[in-house]
Amino acid sequence: MARKEKAEVSEYERKRQENIAKTQELLRNLEQEAAQAGLGPSKTRASSTTKSKAKKPAPKKIKQEDVGPRRTSSRLKGIEADSDKAKRKAEEEYDALREADRAKRQRVSGAFRLSDIVVAGKGWDQSGNFLSIVGPAKPYERTFDFDDVKETTDKELRALREKMSGLELWEDFEPNEIKITPERIYAMGLHPTTEKPLAFAGDKLGNLGICDASQKVSVKQEEDDEDADIEGPTITTLKPHTRTIHTFQFSPHDANALYSASYDSTVRKLDLAKGVAVEVYAPSDPNEDAPLSGLEITQNDPHTLYFSTLNGQFGIYDMRTPASTADVFQLSDKKIGGFSLHPQHPHLAATASLDRTLKIWDLRKITKTDGERLPALVGEHESRLSVSHAAWNSAGQVATASYDDTVKIYDFGNCADWGAGKELTESEMKPTTIVPHNNQTGRWVTILRAQWQQFPQDGVQRFCIGNMNRFVDIYTAKGQQLAQLGGEGITAVPAVAKFHPTLDWVAAGTASGKLCLWI
């Protein structure tokens, strides 16, 4: 009888020892995983249970130090090895781990705020639901059409909408026949001449394409021949840069001069009459890599060049002096995607940055803070996501396009009265108009930018911007849509859109190097 009891006790003891061994092995594994992840052993389980912030009653009843993977010393607690107390301690730790694991898998029926269950590193939109702003691109699906024009009750607005919606694609050639550059277009523009449409485009590899849109269709054979071979438009392609041409500008002082800024860190001046492209700016250190993201020459000074870089810098340079004399300011720790100067008050600069801000700077006042020279910051406004570009118009309004799927319009019409070093309040920096607009270009489409018409003949301020549904949208400064330009033969997103400075002509470029031209 005694032997039977001893056998039964041995069986129980064997099972208990197996449970203890499993528990210890589990604790060791947890401790190793925590060490590999760089976490303190006492916080591993605590962090996993607090990140979700969901209401889970069961885990709260368990003390954190009891469910964590950290092992405690029985010897220091005065517990003898192989004693009943040590066995109970091991069993309690094992049960606690099982309870914590069960609670982690417990279904919770209550409602969640998405901000409370966000996964680490995947931030939730605190200002709204990003899932329902504009939705994915739907090729050729219009969001504004001729029915919207007809239903307009405001006579002036209706007349303007009819005028802008009446623009048609260049009738002689379809966009898929007009390959103006070999690679993806990053910069687009129409020459200021009003005699004929001259389209210019800069691409990813530093090519500059020029197309004369006054050309007519030419046929190699007789017109009654159904198999006649129709030639495409004649296009001139130059390569003034070795890397992406991010932006260019026709000089306001010389119609034959085109200034281009590139990721190869240089600005070149192309003389269209002489056929010569000369370097007018590059960092004084030939080994310095400072990709340029913007340039501008003002109407009142033909010698001063303003530029921005992908390194967050903004520079002012007198082209008559050595490059080492350029005055360069570090305005942002992140990329400046684009900037512009007020056409009437060029001492006011607007910058848009990957740091999600639009900032207005006063170049008349340069201050030194912590050993760093900076222009006076007039004000800033932060968007939920990065701001791609900032553009002034002549009325003192700034338009920005942001990855939060909006085009924001800010009104600084009273900026002529600002003294040097003027500071705007947070409320004064808020946009007056916000236009929902799908700006999710992704990897293969050039970033969308809102670009004003420089000198609208009717005095109505308006801008154009590419549409992911393969159109170009036109809006007023009040956010009223005037037109959605499209047509046959547009096989890709016309992402890079630009107005003619004075005429209602719009040119746009695609990722395949094709030109879309509405005249």
Structural domains in the chain plus CATH codes:
146-215+232-518 (2.130.10.10)
| CB within 8 Å of 390: residues ≥ 6 apart | 338, 339, 340, 350, 351, 352, 358, 398, 399, 400
b/e code 412-429 from CB counts within 10 Å (16+ = b): beebeebeeebebeeeeb
Q: Return the DSSP state at 33.
A: H
Which of 370, 371, 363, 372 has the alpha carbon at shortest distance from 422?
363
What DSSP line would sit under 197-257, residue for residue? Answer: -EEEEEETTS-EEEEETT---EESS-TT-TT--EE---EEEE---SS-EEEEEE-SS-TTE
Confidence of residue 400 (pLDDT cuts 50, 70, 90): very high
Residue 405: is its pLDDT beyond 70? yes
Environment class of residue 61 by beta-carbon count within 10 Å: exposed (0-12), middle (13-18) or buried (19+)? exposed
pLDDT given at position 463: 98
pLDDT given at position 384: 94
Q: Compute CA distances 234 → 178, 186, 200, 219, 488, whole Å.
A: 9, 21, 13, 13, 21
Environment class of residue 154 by beta-carbon count within 10 Å: exposed (0-12), middle (13-18) or buried (19+)? exposed
Give me 109's structure tokens: 């029926």
d(CA 270, CA 87): 86
pLDDT tens digit string along 379-392?
Answer: 999 999 999 999 99
pLDDT given at position 72: 64
Query: Which residue's structure tokens are 């009750």?
Result: 153
pLDDT given at position 132: 38
| CB within 8 Å of 495: residues ≥ 6 apart | 185, 441, 445, 446, 447, 448, 466, 508, 509, 510, 511
Say if residues 471 and 510 touch (Cβ distance below 8 Å).
no
pLDDT given at position 128: 41
d(CA 461, CA 464): 11
pLDDT tens digit string along 245-276?
Answer: 999 999 999 999 999 999 999 999 999 988 88
Say if residues 267 and 202 touch (Cβ distance below 8 Å).
no
Q: How many helices (H) and strands (E) does the chain have?
A: 7, 29
Say if residues 390 and 398 touch (Cβ distance below 8 Å).
yes
Higher pLDDT, 231 or 48: 231
Query: Which residue's structure tokens are 């420089």?
Result: 454
Query: Could you tell me what percent of the chain has a pLDDT over 70?
Result: 80
Q: Return the DSSP state at 351.
A: E
Environment class of residue 319 by beta-carbon count within 10 Å: exposed (0-12), middle (13-18) or buried (19+)? middle
Q: Is 307 helix (H, G, I), strand (E, B) or coil?
A: strand
- Position 179, amino acid: K
3-state helix, strand, coil in the chain (%, to 5): 20, 30, 50
Query: Which residue's structure tokens are 């694609």?
Result: 169
pLDDT given at position 326: 95
Q: What are the two backbone dihedrals, phi and then psi, of residue 420, each rounded to the nearest 5 degrees?
A: -60, 130
Q: Return the DSSP state at 481.
A: E
Q: What mean pLDDT is predicted for residues 420-426?
A: 94
- Using only the alpha carbons of the chain, give its radius of gyration: 33
